[in-house]
């Protein structure tokens, strides 16, 4: 125990110098952080830093678990960000797989995902679409660019490149934050998404070798499929046949199917007659998607 | 057939004088209204008037059926009113029971009722809480009075009594409108509600002898239960134990249980630990409530 205490002090000194936040140290020594958070070096610093930065915005019991919203200072995006997280009842006693939703935060009130997440013991994380409150000129001008849609890329040009690093945020900072603050199994992660988030889910899949992916509606994913070279996949895609973006030829699912076929990527593609781009569509099929992920995440 | 035609002309003349809308008559003669809508006298006028007044605001396919929103000119409330209506797939081929939701319109996007309604072949109607756009002084001043909450009563005092006739609207005008414009079985109606709509559901039950009633959270329903003298009921009540209105002693469920007990009204009352007043609570138990109604509506 003495040795542990010395290690704590060592880290305390590093923290004090690095962050100039001695209150973290005192809270740590007082045992306010859980034992499981205790790690060494940069891992420790990230953890404590992560733990400190989280502010609970809301918490509502839902389907025996909790739907919560947190705010934190993002180091990648240089702004405050919010994310929704559903913690199933299983998370009270053991680690759970995490399913990341890429689209927008209305998901937590409109998609109806909590029932299936509760039953299958899966944590669902729904981050903001874009950096928030950066006041960059032009970011509010269009519904499908800027604050409305960040497209999960790391921007390379001014004035965007300082804040618009959504790729790094969603693939690195956010999972690190989730894994160090919640009972998340870091070996069991998967992603699903809608609209802008649909193709990005497949992109991350290609990059990060997740086990399963499900998409609602397609959008520019063809190029990603064409360049895929990873392990075997199991992809489920639902596309509304009366989606306004489909009829305006912005989605082009045929191209994606052809690309998957060429690369021998197995895809279940369901063109759902009469359905549009809305949450009513997502709500209608959300259970199928969560079950699809559960098959692998709970294997 | 000649006789029928004469009757139509007779009603045509009455309509023309009453509403100064000859286009209704021409549409009627051309057969644009369904045969089943044909009735005599005031019933006919109400029906055709109702059919004319409906304007579809939105329509989204959901769980194999359609979630729609309509607007109409309310004769009771002297203003334009909206209501949401979920039509299950069964409604395409046969008449369905109707379940009225008393609370507010966010229900259609947040409660997740469509899945169970689809499976059980039940139409769900969710009207506005109060008259809209009447610009009565004071109606916007409080969240729990006026446009925010009309309490489903017929107001008796100025300046409210002209428009605030929600009791007449919900128990007479709206069901008439629904029964004459949609494949609704007028013999199979029931009600459920939340917050302000909870106790009112039980009130209407007492007045109108509906078969089943379910409530989310309680509010001033005790008096209603005490005066009940109708046929046997089957009531399901879910109350969030962490509901902010419960802890501030605005709900008093014990009084209701005592009143039901005294009048020998069977109640299943579930005090749900950890749940609050929000849609996350409603979403968590909505399936139980719809199944409760389906037991009677589909009997």
> How far does B76 lie from chain A, in Å, by closest CA?
32
pLDDT for position B252: 60
Q: What is the mean pLDDT of residues B6-22?
A: 32
Q: Which of B64, B67, B283 sits opposite A112 (nearest CB)?
A: B283
- Average confidence (pLDDT) over A12-20: 31
Tell me the two tokens of residue A208. Answer: 């990060």
Given its phi and psi angles, is residue B28 left (phi above 0), alpha (psi -120 to 50 degrees) or beta?
A: alpha
- Give catalytic residues of A, as residue numbers: 195, 243, 277
Are B201 and B233 contacting, i.e. CB atoms less than 8 angstroms apart? no
Is there a contact between A283 and A275 (Cβ–Cβ < 8 Å)?
no
Integer angstrom CA distances of residue B214 from A169, B101, B191, B206, B245: 45, 10, 7, 13, 19
Neighbours of A166 (CB within 10 A): 27
Percent of chain B with pLDDT over 70: 62
Query: Which chain A residue is nearest to residue B86, measuring alpha carbons?
Result: A280
d(CA B131, CA B167): 11
**What is the model's pLDDT at position B183?**
97
- A153 contact B CB<8A: no
The pLDDT, as a whole number, for residue A32 is 44
Whole-number pLDDT of residue A156: 76
User: Which of A118-127, A180-189, A245-254, B284-293 shows the lowest mean pLDDT across its residues?
Assistant: A245-254
Indicate the pLDDT class of residue A67, thresholds 50, 70 and 90: very high
CATH fourth-level superfamily of B54-297: Alpha/Beta hydrolase fold, catalytic domain (3.40.50.1820)
Provide, as residue numbers in chain A, all residues whose Cβ is less than 8 Å from the Cβ of B61. 240, 242, 274-276, 280-281, 284
Residue-by-residue DSSP string for chain A:
-HHHHHHHHHHHHHHHHHH--HHHHHHHHTT-S-GGG---HHHHHHHHHHHHH-EEEEEEEETTEEEEEEEEEETTTTEEEEEEEEE-GGGGTS-EEEEEEES-TTHHHHS--HHHHHHHT-EEEEE-SS--S---TTTTS-TTSTTS--TT-B--STTTTTT-BHHHIIIIIHHHHHHHHSSEEEEEEEEEEETTHHHHHHHHHHHH--S-EEEES-SS-HHHHHT--SS---EEEEEETT-HHHHTTSS-HHHHHHHHHHTT--EEEEEETT--SSHHHHHHHHHHHHHHHHHHHT-
- pLDDT of A151-193, one tens digit each? 676 777 777 778 878 888 988 899 999 999 999 999 888 888 8
Q: Assign residue B8 a region (left: φ > 0; alpha: ψ between -120 and 50; beta: otherwise).
A: alpha
Contacts of A280 in chain B (CB under 8 A): 60-62, 67, 114
Q: In the predicted model, is pLDDT for residue B282 greater than 60?
A: yes
Q: Locate the chain B residue with the closest alpha carbon to A281.
A: B62
Residue A80 pairs in a beta bridge with: A73
Indicate if the pLDDT at residue A80 is higher than 70. yes
Q: Between chains, do B280 and A115 touch, taking CB under 8 Å as contact? A: no
Quickly list DSSP for A56-75. Answer: EEEEEEETTEEEEEEEEEET
Residue of A37 and B296 predicted with greater confidence: B296
Q: How far is B238 from chain A (nearest CA, A)?
A: 13
pLDDT above 80 for B64: yes
Lowest model confidence (mean pLDDT) among A288-297, B5-14, B140-149, B238-247: B5-14
Please say if the pLDDT value at position A25 is more than 60. Answer: no
| Chain A CA closest to residue B115 | A284
Over range A12-31, report the average pLDDT: 35
What would the two tokens of residue B44 be?
A: 């006919």
Give me the residue from A61, A240, A284 closest to B280, CB to CB.
A61
A279 touches B: beta carbon within 8 Å = yes
Which DSSP category does B89 fall into? G
* Token duo for residue A125: 């994380």
Of A288 and B268, the structure prediction assigns the larger pLDDT to: A288
Chain A residues whose CB is inside 8 A of the B283 CB are 62-63, 112, 114-115
Model pLDDT for residues B151-178, shown as the tens digit of each residue: 677 777 777 777 878 888 988 899 999 9
> Taking Cα atoms as reference points, which of B106, B295, B288, B114 lies closest to residue B197?
B106
For chain A, say whether B278 makes contact (Cβ under 8 Å).
Answer: yes
Give the count of Cβ contacts less than 8 A between chain A and B. 62
Among chain B residues, the shortest Cα distance to A67 is held by B280
Interface contact A276-B60, CB threshold 8 A: yes
B283 interfaces chain A, CB cutoff of 8 Å: yes
- B-contacting residues of A 255-274, CB under 8 Å? 274
Q: Please, which residues 64-123 of chain A have a Cβ atom closer than 8 Å to chain B?
A: 64, 67, 109-110, 112, 114-115
DSSP assignments along B104-124, one per residue:
-TTHHHHS--HHHHHHHT-EE
Of A173-177, A276-280, B140-144, minimum mean pLDDT range: B140-144
pLDDT computed for residue A126 by the predictor: 94
What residue spans define the domains of chain B? 1-53, 54-297
pTM listed for this prediction: 0.76
A284 vs B contacts (CB less than 8 Å): 61-64, 114-115
pLDDT for position A155: 73
Percent over 70 (pLDDT), chain A? 62
**pLDDT confidence bin for B208, thresholds 50/70/90:** very low
Which tens digit of pLDDT belongs to each residue from A194-215? Answer: 875 555 455 444 333 334 555 6
- Closest alpha carbon within chain A to B275: A61
Residue B101 β-bridge partners: B192
Cross-chain Cβ contact B61/A279 below 8 Å: no
User: In chain B, whose CA is at the least distance from the CA of A114?
Assistant: B284
User: What's the confidence (pLDDT) of residue B31?
Assistant: 44
B280: nearest CB among A62, A240, A274: A62
Of B112, B280, B287, the CB nearest to A60: B280
Report helix, strand or coil for B201.
helix
Kindly calculate the radius of gyration of chain B based on its CA atoms and give it in whole angstroms. Answer: 20
Contacts of B191 (CB under 8 A, 6+ apart): B99, B100, B101, B102, B201, B204, B205, B210, B213
Cβ–Cβ gap B61/A283 under 8 Å: no
Q: What is the pLDDT of residue A113?
A: 96
Q: Is the pLDDT of residue B139 over 80?
A: no
Report the residue count for chain B.
299
ipTM: 0.74
State the average pLDDT over residues B185-209.
63
CB-closest option in B61, B275, B279 to A280: B61
DSSP B90: G
Asked if A275 and B61 come within 8 Å (Cβ–Cβ), the reply is yes
Pairwise pLDDT comparison (A257 vs B113), residue with the higher score: B113
pLDDT tier at A234, thresholds 50, 70, 90: confident
For residue B266, is pLDDT > 50?
yes
Burial of A58 (0-12, 13-18, 19+ CB in 10 A): middle
């Amino acid at each position: 125990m003495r040795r542990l205490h010395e290690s704590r002090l060592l880290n305390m000194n590093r923290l004090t110098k690095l962050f100039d936040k001695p209150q973290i140290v005192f809270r740590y020594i007082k045992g306010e952080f859980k034992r499981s958070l205790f790690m060494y070096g940069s891992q420790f610093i990230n953890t404590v830093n992560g733990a400190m930065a989280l502010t609970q915005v809301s918490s509502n019991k839902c389907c025996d678990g909790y739907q919560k919203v947190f705010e934190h200072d993002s180091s990648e995006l240089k702004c405050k960000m919010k994310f929704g997280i559903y913690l199933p009842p299983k998370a009270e006693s053991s680690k759970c797989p995490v399913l990341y939703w890429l689209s927008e935060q209305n998901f937590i009130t409109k998609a109806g995902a909590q029932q299936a997440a509760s039953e299958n013991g899966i944590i669902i994380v729904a981050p903001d679409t874009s950096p928030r409150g950066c006041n960059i000129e032009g970011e509010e001008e269009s519904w499908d660019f800027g604050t409305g849609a960040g497209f999960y890329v790391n921007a390379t040009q001014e004035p965007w490149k300082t804040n618009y690093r959504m790729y790094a945020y969603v693939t690195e900072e956010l999972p690190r934050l989730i894994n160090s603050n919640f009972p998340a199994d870091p070996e069991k992660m998967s992603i699903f998404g809608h609209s802008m988030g649909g193709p990005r889910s497949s992109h991350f899949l290609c990059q990060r070798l997740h086990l399963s992916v499900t998409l609602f509606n397609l959008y520019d994913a063809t190029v990603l499929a064409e360049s895929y070279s990873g392990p075997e996949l199991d992809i489920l895609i639902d596309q509304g046949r009366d989606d306004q973006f489909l009829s305006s030829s912005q989605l082009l699912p045929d191209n994606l199917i052809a690309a998957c076929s060429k690369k021998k990527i197995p895809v279940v593609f369901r063109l759902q007659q009469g359905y549009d781009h809305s949450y009513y569509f997502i709500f209608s099929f959300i259970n199928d998607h969560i079950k699809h992920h559960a098959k692998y995440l709970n294997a």
